[in-house]
Amino acid sequence: MIEENGHKRRLTTTEMLTYLAISIVLNSFANGLAVATNLGSAVWTASAVNLHGILPGSLGTILFVYAIVVQLINVVISWQINWRSVVSNLLFAFLFSYLVQFWTHILVKLQIPQFNVGIRLVLDIVGICGIALATSIYQRVDIMLHPNDEFSYLIRFKFMHGSAAWGQYLSYIIPVVIIIYCFWKTHHLAAVNIGTFFALFCQGPIIGWADQHIFHKLKHRLFLKKSAPTN
């Protein structure tokens, strides 16, 4: 929904496609950037990278299968199956998964992993912030969501009274458990570093901030009482 002069209206097709394109490209590029810095990826991506170390298949394939499993969890939480939503979310996940693999390959070729640690740390934080901004955009468009982000979105509005921070914190239980399991299995962690902890504690609040300041006319479909928190 778009809010203009105190009135709300639906997105036009052009607006919807524009916001979606911006968010998908930004999200996949930002994830690829975080992976390429080797200083810690977003929590879900970090867990997928560690699964990649113990499971066959490419990173893109693991990310997509991961999304299918999370989509099933979302159906259980919402107690309904909206096939249009399920199909569109999985299409989003498919595009996202292989775009992350594409951007990671390109950024590694550009030798970002060989940059000095200070530059990589800045790029990593920029990547994590970019993921949060992209998530805020496509959650507000709410036409198609990555299942991982729909998971936090459902928790946010169903159980946490609209708090983006708490929605993110609770949704991270699954990937954190997977990261711990992979470490127990391999005694090695990949894509987990300072950036992962930054994402763990700051990504939710950044999403809440972006809701208010990035494309601020773009509003969530689920309107909350004024007293409800947004971060």
Domain-embedded: residue 106: yes
Domain-embedded: residue 183: yes
For residue 204, count other CB atoms closer than 10 A to its CB: 26
Give, in order, the Cα–Cα distances in Å from 138 to each of 1, 187, 223. 11, 36, 16
Domain membership of residue 99 as a residue range: 12-213
Count of domains for the chain: 1
Task: Please write the tens of the pLDDT for every residue from 20-70.
Answer: 999 999 999 999 999 999 899 889 989 998 999 899 888 889 989 989 999
Domain-embedded: residue 226: no
Its pTM stands at 0.84
Task: Please write the tens of the pLDDT for every residue from 144-188.
Answer: 888 998 899 899 888 998 898 899 899 999 999 999 999 999 999
Domain-embedded: residue 29: yes
Angle at 201 between CA 75 and CA 41, to 5 degrees: 75
Domain-embedded: residue 5: no
If we measure between CA atoms, which residue out of 28, 55, 54 comes closest to residue 42?
Answer: 28
Domain-embedded: residue 99: yes
Cα end-to-end distance, the chain, whole Å: 19
The DSSP call for residue 142 is: -
Domain-embedded: residue 191: yes
The runs of H, that is alpha helices, within the chain are 13-37, 43-52, 59-78, 83-109, 117-141, 147-158, 164-171, 173-186, 194-213
Domain-embedded: residue 41: yes
Pairing status of strand 2-4 against strand 7-9: antiparallel
